[in-house]
Amino acid sequence: MSKERMRILEMLQDGKITVDEAMSLLARMPEDKEEKTRHNHKEDHDEDFSEYEYRREEKNNHWWNDTADSIKCAIDDALESLEDIDFPGIFSSGRGSQYMIFNHAPKGGSLNFLKLLAKNGTLKIKSHDDANIKVELKYSAKKNKSRIYLQEEGGGLDLVYDYNAFRYFSITCFLPRGLVIENIYAENKNSSIELEEVKGNHIELITKNSAIKMNDVHAAQITAQTTNSKIYLEGVYAAIVRATTTNAKVEAERSIIKQFYAKTTNSTVKIELKDGKGAIEDESEIEYILDLKTTNGNIKVEGARDVPLSLNASTSHGRIDFNYSDMFIHEMSQNYINCKSQGYDQASKKLKMNLSTSNANIKIV
């Protein structure tokens, strides 16, 4: 510090001048060289430090950007590598409508089970002349890279995917002609299930708000369940069939079914029986059972008089149209009849029917 500055501070200390006067005198004095040098050095240091910080931050940003790009590329490469692996799994290529095919060779020419789940699109199972099982898919994915694969375990096939990742998922499955599958499970929602020329032991079909159709189907047991839509069978050969719907028709034509249980509401049940040779022809003694229930809809059974018959039929606010002249009547009224054919108990092939409706008619021919 200069002598002049020291003198001013001493005068302030001795009380010879005031603080304002000291500040005014110091302000009019030229800047001290040592102080100026120290101040300039500090400014230069601050500028150098700020530049260093800026460059370091910029370098870090570049590093993070390069690292993020490298990670993204690694993930993309890994996904592409997975798609190239030889395993029964494929990733959906993107959003929107797409198409995919699986081919599978059943080991030993047989299959313990087949499980298919569709969503808002048709589900069809039918036969073809190829030796392999072919599964065609049409779908719309909500997101990219949704995995779809055929899972093979326990001698069966299960089509696996994330159900919630797709808007709709339609399936057409082609089976080698003559292939008998122990268990077939097919489920859908808001679209139909259709089987054509299929053989299985146990078949279970479930959908909502759409039809179930079967044509030339052979099975020991069939369960068909839907709502608000029709169940239709043609040329079905089975030991037991259970068909359940609501507000729609149940109809069977040219079928041989040992035990047929059908139930609906607010619609008709129509059954055309076919007696003769079929899937159960080797059974010397057969008692067919026909158990049909509905409300607010007619019941019609055709071909029932071809075999000895036991009938229990009831309705309300309707009539029963039936020629019972050669029948043994147990009980009968306007809306109810319980009767059976002469010699029914001794017959080797016979039919037992339980029919029930309300506010509609029953007709047996």
| DSSP secondary structure string for all residues of 235-273 | S-EEEEEEEE-SSS-EEEEEEEEEEEEEE-SSS-EEEEE
Residue with the bigger pLDDT between 8 and 356: it is: 356
Contact criterion met (CB below 8 Å) for 272 and 291: no
Question: Taking the chain, what is the end-to-end CA distance rounded to the nearest angstrom?
Answer: 130
Please determine, for residue 267, whether its predicted confidence score (pLDDT) is greater than 90.
Answer: yes
- pLDDT, tens digit, 9 for 90 and up, residues 137-148: 999 888 766 788
Query: Per-residue b/e over 296-321, b at no fewer than 16 CB within 10 Å?
Result: bbbbbbeebbebbbbbbbbbeebebe
In the three-class reduction of DSSP (H, G, I as helix; E, B as strand; rest coil), residue 45 is classed as: helix
- Distances in whole angstroms, Cα of residue 20 to Cα of each of 8, 32, 205, 364: 12, 20, 101, 125
CA dihedral 318, 321, 326, 328 (to 10 degrees): -20
Predicted confidence at residue 281, as pLDDT, reads: 42
Model confidence at 87, pLDDT cuts 50, 70, 90, reads very low
Give 24's contacts (C-beta < 8 A, 6+ positions apart). Answer: none
pLDDT digits (tens, 9 = 90+) for 23-44: 777 777 765 555 555 555 545 5
pTM of the model: 0.73
**What does the pLDDT look like over 164-191, one tens digit per residue?**
989 999 999 999 998 989 999 999 999 9
Mean pLDDT check: name the lowest of 31-40, 49-58, 200-209, 242-251: 31-40
What is residue 319's predicted lDDT score, i.e. its pLDDT? 93
